[in-house]
Amino acid sequence: MEEVAEVYLNELINRSLIQVAEIDSIGRLRDFRIHDLFREVITSKLREQNIAAIVSKGSTTCPEKVRRLLIKYSLGNLQHTNRFPQLRSLLMFSVEEPISKLMPILFNGGVRLLKVLDLRGASLKILPNEVGKLFHLRYLSLRSTEVETLPKSIGKLENLETLDLKRTHVIELPVQILKLQRLRHLLVYNPVHHIDNGFKAMVGIGGLSSLQKLCYIQVNHENGGIVMGELGRLTQLMRLGIRDLRREDGKALCFSLEKLSNLQSLNVASVEWRNGIVDIQHLSSPPRSLQRLYLWGGLENFPHWITSFHNLVKLWLRYSKLRDDPLQSLQDLPNLIEIGLVDAYQGEELCTKATGFQKLKTLELQRLERLRWLRMEKGSLPHLEKLIIWNCELLGEVPTGFQHLTNHRPRWVL
């Protein structure tokens, strides 16, 4: 269904009904907007046909039979409404005031048909146990709230497909989460010290066979090896994030990865990732669909299987401490657009050969403390747009071959 939605979105863009506001470094569409004129037309039609209602500062009424309710900045006069029997979707945007007045409506039987509940950014610390009454719920977002735990009743939401807990304080999920057999997207993480922490993965997670996105799971516990073995059962996975991988669990992870033929994004961090080891050298048949790869931790050798990822567009290696030039192994990958090396190489020279990196747009080098020379042969990096060099203190000269770059002059940040 996500692919169908993307087709619809692209069609709206092609017809100029939606404008692209942001594209990321590898060309993915990340943010959108609509023209002010279209916005006025759309909101007018919403009101006329009772498709949706928008509540904001100054709002006076809200029809009880509305199917989609958007709350923007303020809850308005919602406390005067006891129920919305037809409501299917409730979305909140930038509401700073406490949402306590919404609790009776949401969790006391007033919105039993609700399918989408997006409370992102709301002033919310506790998710009431009554959330289990929302049997038809498919999408639940508590993103950027102060919620720390989920009630056990979450296991009653048998139709739930997306659970978004990004930037919350949740670090452990109730075991009842394993009852959600239709769950497709499980997103639980909060940035701490430049890395996204996750939640303690429980035995049995391999039974959530519909999962497409799972990030991030922490596996530094007594059952970590069992969990790594179970990941191979999640054959629908397209995005996987793992935190606190122990060296002894690396082999089990590799065996599971070989079964994930749909995997597009993989993010793995070792225990004590600045000094730990990411032991993923055992892959014999890696998922060829992989497009984005992020590794945090030491690599005893450059993983040979990375060179087989012809669909790879983005690669970040952090704290890998490689002794051999990684660019030599990567430059023939046909679709690589972005490379980041952060304390990932201990040598003195990096070099790109004449035919290398024919699609690369971004090359970022950070904290390569022994790097003295960066050489770019004529003909390499023809599409480079951004060259970022940061905290490479021994690199005291302009990269050799910089004048040969044909795509204008790339932005060089030193």
In the predicted model, is pLDDT for residue 79 greater than 70? no
| Predicted pLDDT of residue 93 | 84
**pLDDT category, 191, cuts 50, 70, 90?**
confident
b/e burial code for range 347-366 (CB count within 10 A of at least 16 → b): eeebbbeeebbbebbbbbbe
Per the CB < 8 A criterion, the answer to whether 74 and 95 are in contact is yes
Per the CB < 8 A criterion, the answer to whether 232 and 205 are in contact is no
| Predicted pLDDT of residue 226 | 94
| Predicted pLDDT of residue 344 | 96
| Predicted pLDDT of residue 363 | 94
Q: Backbone phi, then psi, for 305, in 5-degree steps?
A: -75, -15
Q: Tell me the mean pLDDT in the region 152-171.
A: 96
Residue of 61, 62, 70 whose CA lies nearest to 88? 70
| Predicted pLDDT of residue 101 | 73
Among 84-98, 130-144, 204-218, whose mean pLDDT is lowest?
Answer: 84-98
How many helices (H) and strands (E) the chain has is answered by 6, 23
Per the CB < 8 A criterion, the answer to whether 74 and 55 are in contact is yes
| Predicted pLDDT of residue 242 | 96
Q: Tell me the mean pLDDT in the region 300-318.
A: 93
Query: From residue 188, how far is each of 116, 166, 183, 200, 388 by CA, in Å?
Result: 18, 5, 13, 10, 31
In the predicted model, is pLDDT for residue 112 greater than 90? no
Helix (H, G, I), strand (E, B) or coil at 18: coil
**pLDDT category, 291, cuts 50, 70, 90?**
very high
**pLDDT category, 405, cuts 50, 70, 90?**
confident
| Predicted pLDDT of residue 273 | 82
**pLDDT category, 414, cuts 50, 70, 90?**
low
Distance CA 270, CA 220 (A): 9
Among 8-22, 90-104, 336-350, whose mean pLDDT is lowest?
Answer: 90-104
Q: pLDDT of 23-71, one tens digit each?
A: 988 888 889 999 888 888 988 888 888 888 888 776 656 777 888 998 8
In the predicted model, is pLDDT for residue 236 greater than 70? yes
What spatial distance separates the first Cα and last Cα of the chain, rounded to whole Å? Answer: 44
Residue of 28, 93, 3, 19 whose CA lies nearest to 56? 93
| Predicted pLDDT of residue 58 | 67
Q: pLDDT of 329-357, one tens digit each?
A: 999 999 999 999 999 999 999 999 998 99
The token pair that represents 51 in the structure block: 């498709």
Max distance between CA atoms of the chain, in angstroms, equals: 71
Q: pLDDT of 210-219, one tens digit each?
A: 999 999 999 9
| Predicted pLDDT of residue 59 | 67
Q: Tell me the mean pLDDT in the region 370-385.
A: 91
**pLDDT category, 412, cuts 50, 70, 90?**
low
In the predicted model, is pLDDT for residue 413 greater than 80? no
| Predicted pLDDT of residue 252 | 94
b/e burial code for range 102-127 (CB count within 10 A of at least 16 → b): beebbbeebbeebbbbbbbbbebeeb
Compute the mean pLDDT over every residue in the chain, rounded to the nearest whole number: 89
**pLDDT category, 111, cuts 50, 70, 90?**
confident
Establish whether the linkage from the previous residue to 216 is cis, with ω within 30° of 0: yes
